[in-house]
A and B are shown apart, each in its own frame.
Chain A
């Protein structure tokens, strides 16, 4: 770690996006995490994704719970809105915020402890409801902040830094998300930004519950031989099923692919996800097949990464609730309280 603020000087060729911001403008405070923490790479990937999509920082709300991962929203998107909730309660605060103002981009950042242990009840219901959000789990398999106990995502048989073997079955966040109806499910690795950045961009453009499980090695407590979430292990067992290229509606498509190599998924906002297949048989629009594939590979000790499932026709909570198009927090008293006559009418309809 470092305590010096990152110098404001930057490379002379550093480009501006269409809003006139450089990538550096999307950074936050200097990280206080351990040197080499995978979470910092994920922060850098979020910075890159938001810069490349020219997201207006003031249109983003970052929400997190408690833990190393939940500290990270302080380290990116400094000018955005932020809310550090109670441990494990980020999903419900996010849901509430989303209901109040549907116009913001909701970025939930959590860890395996925050989402898979104390907050698992919140995690599953936010997904079930289809809250429109980007939910990133920075998954390192240990409680880093309390010095390296196994978390609920630690694989059975994996060994702690002290040499203890984990005997509990792991919670598979990707499996849960698929089963609970998430409409954009991906898994990434903090050590591979070329894969991770497009996955985040796709999730930002997605209008539904987008879950990204990012394996993020804990350098201090879970990067040793015997760990299944170390840099070395993940690199050796990474089964990347596809490579995503995120195409905004404005961009001209110039690359040619041989037929069968490419799946193109158009999303609501006109953006498209171009998936270069690495695993030819894999179909990311088939939820059941995705679940089967992920579980099969997992049983074989492999870690499936890439865009696992996407439903371009996703619906979100607001659609289900039939809320008005205008954010609820923009409705004034006259709209919210239309008067006795309207109330009488409603009451009459119920008699």
Chain B
């Protein structure tokens, strides 16, 4: 193999699994260290910079970082249940325990730069665009149909998961940057909005339409059958305050979990979730399923809804066909009927949470925005978020269909950067390089500026409020969040994957000290070979091909150093044992470019 080019910013970025997996590339280990140091406000600001809504995301994020976390891979050897660091809930700690950060936020721009930007919808993507652009001098106007900003986060995520004051606080930070917020104005014609002569328009209106199920009996029993996201919004607005005793929730996503837990609190004694797919294939995050089951809500899988049963115009139950999951020859999952008789479940109400769809009835099709004929979705550039009208951009669920908050934030950042490039007359595809900072962490012979003593602890549970109380209240938050002491212990589980093992082949004397001390058998000195062969000839075979091999140039004997990044603890023992300093632990901070970094000179420096 060729020696690894560690000057490529992507190489070490990829080693920081959590940051790489995060759509907004939040520097996770960096803020976890700050939490461990008790610097909650600093940790909050690191988050705020990258993901804009730390308090909200710390409670609701889909956490793509956690399945990626190296900790769960290294714990595979301990025989217990391997689990990632509780990254998401640590983020909440930063938000909960911080001081007043108002003074650290950017100030509203002193001067208007002459550009006007409109954002449609006040959800996470639009607010991200506003936050990135307003301090730079753009005049940003956010149009929202509801009275308050937040979009889906406010109207569909139930209050027992996300208190309203957290939303108020974090949306408030953005509106406080001099953003004009136009409440109660639903944009019903893009043509009309274009006529208002904005320099750029960002569309972050979400995927507002819940999918329905057109089954026999749907019309007849319509009064007791609700579309999940509409029902959740009605609960938020107070239009609905109670539900029947027996409730069936259809669907296996996170909205279904929010529906069933809300129903349980609004008078549903017997709430159950019934889902077509197998339990493991459900779209809902594992922890959301656990939360629902913890509240006594059964999840019945492999049942395909067939009909709504009604008597005298009232819903009385549903029938389901039982199926089993099979994997076809092409690897695709198939639901095959088991042949058992259909199952009947009596109920008083049904909530349908089987997915969301985009709807753009308000975008005229003759104004130059191309739509994909198959999905009736606007054609959006994956990198720049631009539509076929260069100054109309999309983001969040409106861009590529329903995803989640953190993706919406990532889209917002990219769109804001595109707007800045576009309005500055630059090529929106020439994205500025990320800012990278590499710093040795060596303080002394065996002293590092990070805590390299690996904690053997298993993941800590977030404490919950008393279910006797939470199950009676729509507004009492279920999770209490870590206290400072537990947060410190959980933070110590983080492996500091951003503190990189950097090897200088010309300094190595091949004493084997690093090989002998490495607790994870990551390091091998061997004759070079092709990657496939090399992976098998290491001290411990490198079977996880998702993870890179770090290959050095030849050392004195002509061999190469090969390090499997997969399960490295970043404990720095290799560097402590190295007599010549061939190994060093260097903190690698990478910050993706946001609007404001797009100056040509910044690009030059990074290159």
A residues engaging B (CB < 8 A)? 1-4, 6-14, 24, 34-38, 40-41, 43-44, 190-191, 193, 217, 219-220, 223, 231-232, 235
Contact = CB atoms under 8 A, between A and B. Distances in A.
Please list the 5 inter-chain residue pairs (A to B) with the smallest Cβ-Cβ separation, ordered nearest first: A36-B579, A44-B516, A2-B576, A12-B76, A7-B454
Contact of A9 (B509, B512, B513, B569): B569
Interface size class of B (residues with CB under 8 A): 35 or more
Contacts of B571: 4, 7
Contact of A36 (B77, B543, B569, B580): B580
A35 B584 CA distance: 14
A193 B184 CA distance: 75
A7 B519 contact: yes
A10 B445 CA distance: 25
Contact of A11 (B512, B520, B556, B579): B520
B8 interface: no
B554 to A, nearest CB: 14
Contact of B556 (A4, A35, A40, A232): A232
Interface of B: 73-78, 445-446, 452-454, 456, 509-513, 515-517, 519-522, 540-541, 543, 556-557, 567, 569, 571, 573, 576-580
18 contacts: A1-B446, A2-B446, A2-B576, A2-B577, A4-B573, A7-B571, A9-B74, A11-B521, A14-B521, A35-B578, A36-B578, A36-B579, A41-B513, A191-B510, A191-B511, A193-B512, A220-B579, A232-B556
Contacts of B520: 9-11
Contacts of B567: 11-12
Nearest to B452: A4
A242 to B, nearest CB: 20
Given A2-B517, A35-B577, A9 B454 contact: yes
Contacts of B510: 191, 231
A136 B154 CA distance: 72
Contact of A35 (B75, B513, B519, B541): B513
B452 A41 contact: no
Given A8-B456, A9-B519, A35-B579, A41 B556 contact: no
B513 A36 contact: yes
A223 B509 contact: yes
A35 B569 contact: no
Given A10-B77, A13-B541, A41 B516 contact: yes
Contacts of A13: 540-541, 543
Nearest to B509: A231
Contacts of B580: 36
Contact of A12 (B73, B445, B513, B519): B73
Contacts of B517: 2, 6, 40
A219 B514 CA distance: 14
A235 B519 contact: no
Nearest to B521: A11
Contacts of A223: 509
A82 to B, nearest CB: 20
Nearest to A3: B446
A9 B78 contact: yes
Contacts of A24: 519
Given A41-B511, A231-B510, 11 more contacts: A2-B517, A4-B576, A7-B571, A11-B522, A12-B77, A13-B541, A14-B540, A35-B578, A36-B580, A40-B513, A41-B512
